[in-house]
Amino acid sequence: TGTNKTGPKPKVGPKPKAGPKPKTAGTAGSAGSNSTAKTEESTPETEWDKMAKEKIKGIRGIDENAANQILNEIVLKGDEVHWEDIAGLEQAKTSLKEAVVYPFLRPDLFSGLREPARGMLLFGPPGTGKTMLARAVATESNSTFFAISASSLTSKFLGESEKLVRALFQMARAFAPSIIFVDEIDSLLATRSENGEHEASRRIKNEFLVQWSDLQHAAAGRDNGDDLERVLVLAATNLPWGIDEAARRRFVRRQYIPLPERETRAAHLQKLLSNQKHALTEADFQKLVDLTDGFSGSDMTALAKDAAMGPLRSLGEALLTTPRDQIRPMGIEDFVSSLRTIRPSVSKEGLKAFEDWAALYGSSG
Ligand code: ADP
């Protein structure tokens, strides 16, 4: 969600970066049998793809075109994210472990009263790590990760969207444990007045809610820790107030992902600078942490990237001939000069809106 994207981001249609990995990282297959499926790229079919296709054949009543499209464009492939990759956000991590990761890894312990939630909402300003958290949850819980942005569901797949939603849930169940991650969920579950509710969007929204309820009923019907249907809808939004009230209530847990605190900014900066030649003293570092009050994680990343260009910019044309080991290290002055153009993407007023919503509707802990 949000702007200033710098890192890897699961959107519809990510192309695999690295080689085949199991579960969250199969490589896009080649048997897309409808016209909208990506045409063959040179990536070879992996064992995971073969297994996935076999599995799809076994799902009763599934629309195979939609299933292949999901396999190619929605099952997340590519770099895995681990908890350590995410700076700070300790409270959110703890809460996600308890709500999702442990129940997925130990379903026998989490039944009956301990039945895990089937929906969790991550909300907060853009660029604060919501997507990264969702990806880490998938990695750490060994789940298949289905990632879709709600706006692409309602635009790109329009016409096919309902079928796609149905197939998405069918597949998530077949590939359980699974996480269905819906970015920009507000655009799928908007209040009626917001978009005058287009007939097509209304149908997609209904289909999504129906499928999601079925999941909740299926979960409630089991009492023996049967782990066949561990599926969670994890959603993210920068506009939590845009979500329909009835839909909002279905997210039993609503986790606020705030702007990073001082310590988190420090940890993030440390991480960003860890592979870079720099001359920042401890005092510079502290000053920088102060100067970035109000910055989101992605603002910090953008700032560090821009500052890293400083030593090259100061060379001018000499850049082309200077040996690598003679490039000067980054210094505080590079950051100070980048701070003139890289500004926080959330205003004070914007932030207050999130805090007010969190106080009203957020889950604590
Ligand atoms: P959101 O989904 O909240 O809009 P993302 O998870 O997509 O934000 O984060 C955008 C980018 O910002 C990430 O790819 C990463 O580079 C950086 N980022 C944001 N928050 C953090 C964090 N807590 N730790 C490390 N990187 C972060």
Q: Is 103 in the pocket of ligand 1 (CB under 6 A)?
A: no
Tally of CB atoms within 10 A around 172: 27
Predicted confidence at residue 62, as pLDDT, reads: 84
- pLDDT beyond 90 at 115: no
Predicted confidence at residue 333, as pLDDT, reads: 96
Closest atom of ligand 1 relative to the 122 alpha carbon:
3
- pLDDT beyond 90 at 296: yes
- pLDDT beyond 80 at 266: yes
Predicted confidence at residue 244, as pLDDT, reads: 87
Region 17-27 average pLDDT:
38
Q: Where are the alpha helices (DSSP H) in 221-295?
A: 245-250, 262-273, 282-291
**Terminal Cα-to-Cα distance of the chain (whole angstroms):** 23
Task: Report how far ligand 1's centroid is from the alpha carbon of 336 (Å).
Answer: 22
Top-confidence residue, 276 or 30: 276
Q: Nearest Cα to 52, choosing from 91, 88, 79, 20? A: 20
Q: Give the range among 20-24, 144-148, 207-211, 290-294 with minimum mean pLDDT.
A: 20-24
Region 72-86 average pLDDT:
81
Predicted confidence at residue 40, as pLDDT, reads: 44
* 77 confidence band (pLDDT: 50, 70, 90): low
Q: Which secondary structure element, helix H or strand E, spans residue 236, and what is its range?
A: strand 231-237
Asked if residues 340 and 325 have their Cβ atoms less than 8 Å apart, the reply is no
Region 79-102 average pLDDT:
90
Top-confidence residue, 162 or 289: 289
Top-confidence residue, 12 or 194: 194
Predicted confidence at residue 30, as pLDDT, reads: 33
Give the mutation target among 82, 83, 96, 128 for probing the ligand 1 site: most ligand atoms within 8 A of CB: 128
Task: Report how far ligand 1's centroid is from the alpha carbon of 79 (Å).
Answer: 14
Express as a percent the part of the chain with pLDDT over 70.
81
Q: Is 135 in the pocket of ligand 1 (CB under 6 A)?
A: no
Asked if residues 297 and 127 have their Cβ atoms less than 8 Å apart, the reply is yes
* 192 confidence band (pLDDT: 50, 70, 90): low
Closest atom of ligand 1 relative to the 125 alpha carbon:
3
Residues 118-143: tens digit of each pLDDT: 889 999 999 999 999 999 998 998 88
Atom 11 of ligand 1, residue of closest alpha carbon: 298
Q: Which secondary structure element, helix H or strand E, spans residue 121, and what is its range?
A: strand 119-123
Task: Report how far ligand 1's centroid is from the alpha carbon of 132 (Å).
Answer: 6
Bridge partners of 179, per DSSP, are 145, 232
Q: Is 9 in the pocket of ligand 1 (CB under 6 A)?
A: yes
Q: Is 87 in the pocket of ligand 1 (CB under 6 A)?
A: yes
Q: Give the range among 47-61, 223-237, 261-275 with minimum mean pLDDT.
A: 223-237
Q: Is the dihedral of CA 201, 202, 203, 208 positive or negative?
A: positive
Q: Is 132 in the pocket of ligand 1 (CB under 6 A)?
A: yes
Q: Is 28 in the pocket of ligand 1 (CB under 6 A)?
A: no
Atom 16 of ligand 1, residue of closest alpha carbon: 7
Asked if residues 297 and 87 have their Cβ atoms less than 8 Å apart, the reply is yes
Q: Nearest Cα to 202, choosing from 215, 214, 192, 213? A: 192
Q: Which secondary structure element, helix H or strand E, spans residue 144, and what is its range?
A: strand 144-149
Q: Is the dihedral of CA 340, 342, 345, 348 positive or negative?
A: negative
Please state the length of the chain.
Answer: 365
Please give the mean pLDDT across all residues of the chain: 81
Predicted confidence at residue 113, as pLDDT, reads: 85
Residues 137-186: tens digit of each pLDDT: 989 988 889 998 887 777 776 677 888 899 899 999 988 889 999 999 99
Asked if residues 128 and 259 have their Cβ atoms less than 8 Å apart, the reply is yes
Q: How far is CA 100 from CA 118, 184, 230, 262, in A?
A: 9, 20, 10, 28
d(CA 232, CA 147): 12
Q: What is the pTM of this model?
A: 0.80
Task: Report how far ligand 1's centroid is from the alpha carbon of 9 (Å).
Answer: 9
Structure tokens that stand for 69 in this block:
């499209």
Structure tokens that stand for 141 in this block:
């819980």
Closest atom of ligand 1 relative to the 1 alpha carbon:
4
Q: Is 128 in the pocket of ligand 1 (CB under 6 A)?
A: yes
Q: Cα dihedral angle (208, 212, 215, 216), rounded to 10 degrees?
A: -160
Predicted confidence at residue 32, as pLDDT, reads: 35
Tally of CB atoms within 10 A around 146: 26
Structure tokens that stand for 236 in this block:
């993210």
Q: Is 127 in the pocket of ligand 1 (CB under 6 A)?
A: yes
Closest atom of ligand 1 relative to the 264 alpha carbon:
23
Closest atom of ligand 1 relative to the 7 alpha carbon:
14
User: Residue 251, CB half-sphere, CA atoms under 13 Å: how many?
Assistant: 26
Atom 10 of ligand 1, residue of closest alpha carbon: 127
d(CA 125, CA 350): 8
- pLDDT beyond 60 at 305: yes
Q: Is 1 in the pocket of ligand 1 (CB under 6 A)?
A: yes
Q: Is 149 in the pocket of ligand 1 (CB under 6 A)?
A: no
Q: What is the DSSP string of 305-334?
A: HHHHTHHHHTTGGGGGTS-GGGSPPB-HHH
Atom 13 of ligand 1, residue of closest alpha carbon: 7
